[in-house]
Structure 1
Amino acid sequence: MMDDFMIRAALAGLGVALAAAPMGCFVVWRRMAYFGDATAHASILGVAIALALSLSVFLGAMVMALLMALAVTALSGRGYAVDTLLGVLAHSALAFGLVAVSFLSGVRIDLMAYLFGDILAVGKTDLAVIWGGAALVLALLAWRWSALLTATLNPDLAHASGIDPRREQLVLTLALALVVAVAIKVVGVLLIAALLIIPAAAARPFARTPEGMALIAVIVAGLSVLGGLQASLVFDTPTGPSIVCIAALVFAGSALGSSLSRRRA
């Protein structure tokens, strides 16, 4: 029989998978990989500020991730290439966050847990936050799915249909900030982008519809979580990185299967 902490870890990982996988599809479709990375890196500064002010770490990470996402959106197209802008903001936010953490002399903080996750230390309160956040993300995506999809795949059609692409970008920004906030405990700041992108990328070759890709991505993410937990237990490896390694292996298998299928065709 599984120990309680393993059950909590599995539930936490599956909650994050449910939220991250559909969001990851939009990240892949919009080519926003660096955007997700910048948002995730900013959350460590939110963690430091939250601990300094004795606030909820979840709230601090979400607010800072949201502010970073809004800053990137506002500064895009103002003379800098998007990848340059994201690189500057992502690494600057991470550096400021790490420096801010060093000033928290009266607060005990396990920095490695926030950088790489500590899913085995998830408690019942963390589970409630993770599943509550995942439910909000899924509700937001379900409510705006059609509009988000239209604005993502064809902005001109979105305008013609009365859909404001910038408004839908803000919806995605809010959902992404929520995902970052719920995922920080599971895989950590440095691996959040991987959990967003890899399952969606693995699902892409086998999906015939956007909804199908989102569903396959959820399955891949869920299997990666469970496989990573099992691998971590068997080989005594860090759990967050192990989850991402399993996802990467699934992606490699997906890419190989897709390549072989094209050759046969």
Structure 2
Amino acid sequence: MIALLDSFLVRAALAGTGVAFAAAPLGCFVIWRRMAYFGDATAHASILGVALSLAFQAPIFAGVLVVSLLMATAISSLSGRGFAMDTLLGVMAHSALAFGLVAVSFLDGVRIDLMAYLFGDILAVSRMDLLIIWGGACLVIVLLWFRWSSLLTATLSEDLAHAAGINPKREQLALTICLALVVAVAIKVVGVLLISAMLLIPAAAARTFAKTPETMAATAVVIGALAALGGLHLSFQLDTPTGPTIVCFAAVLFALSSIGKTLIDRKS
């Protein structure tokens, strides 16, 4: 097993699968709660986390995680104070990305491959990166597993959650932490600009056929893993950028699922 990790393709495959395991079930809640732009804003803020990590010579994972958490918490706090959610998310998403890019330009004497952070560099994943990715993925899965019932109830109805003794704000915080973790572990694989795609597309494709929340989450994991492995293989064969190719493969799976659903509905 250790010898297998010497292959950059094996490391890349494991990294893509790890991101899929973390992002796919969380993406289901993002869709159910209509939080697509919320994930986008959190992902965009991670560039500022990269800049701060490099400036203070801190681990990239830590910087991205902290800034993503701060962004997600700020959005949650401001959302109920007279701001329209779509407007607030649009302002904060683009502002965070802009501030991050400007901050990167001030880093003297630090070499940074900005394209790798924007679009991912899965082929350069190291063993330590794998440990971080799968560690973060396991944390997300465990957190979702223990909070699953409460999260579903709070997603269905806040009034129903209150009646069941569940605090919707606490469940929102749990999702915020999971989202920040996913952003922190996925930035190396698909980059800032494509993280939201890996959250949304597998879950959207799974929603076409799933009849229960649990089935949708499990199917989304399978579709996300297929997208990661299929996109990696296609990228290697066609010599295309790996992160975008993974997202393209996921989009094709979504299109096929939609076509399949349409054909089934016509026959029935």
TM-score tier (shorter):
over 0.9
Q: Does 1:70 align with 2:70?
A: no
CA distance in 1, matches of 2:204, 2:62: 29
Aligned-pair identity in percent equals 70
Map of 1:52 onto structure 2: 55
CA distance in 2, matches of 1:261, 1:2: 42
Q: Does 1:39 align with 2:42?
A: yes
Gaps of 5+ in 1: none
TM-fit CA distance, 1:79: 2.0
CA deviations on 1:24-69 (whole Å, 9 max, x unpaired) are 0000000000000000000000010011000010010011111110
TM-fit CA distance, 1:3: 7.1
Q: Does 1:245 align with 2:248?
A: yes
TM-fit CA distance, 1:124: 0.4
| Higher mean displacement: 254-263 or 155-164 | 254-263
CA distance in 1, matches of 2:178, 2:225: 19
Task: Find the partner of 1:79 among 82, 93, 96.
Answer: 82
Map of 2:33 onto structure 1: 30
CA distance in 1, matches of 2:195, 2:32: 18
Compared CA separation, residues 2 and 257, structure 1 to 2 (3 A): farther
SS of residue in 2 equivalent to 1:150: helix
CA deviations on 1:62-94 (whole Å, 9 max, x unpaired) are 111111100110000322210110000000000
Gaps of 5+ in 2: none
Q: Does 1:110 align with 2:120?
A: no
CA distance in 1, matches of 2:106, 2:259: 48
**What is the alpha-carbon root mean square deviation over aligned residues?**
1.1
Task: Find the partner of 2:100 among 97, 101, 110.
Answer: 97
Compared CA separation, residues 108 and 199, structure 1 to 2 (3 A): same
Map of 2:19 onto structure 1: 16
CA distance in 2, matches of 1:238, 1:205: 28
| Higher mean displacement: 150-159 or 201-210 | 150-159
* TM-score scaled by length of structure 1: 0.98
Task: Find the partner of 2:223 among 220, 224, 249.
Answer: 220
Q: Following superposition of structure 1 onto structure 2, how do residues 184-263 of structure 1 map, counting pairs within 5 Å?
A: 184-263=187-266
Counterpart of 1:74, as a letter, is S
TM-fit CA distance, 1:165: 0.5
Which aligned runs of 4 or more in structure 1 are off by greater than 6 angstroms? none
CA distance in 2, matches of 1:44, 1:2: 28
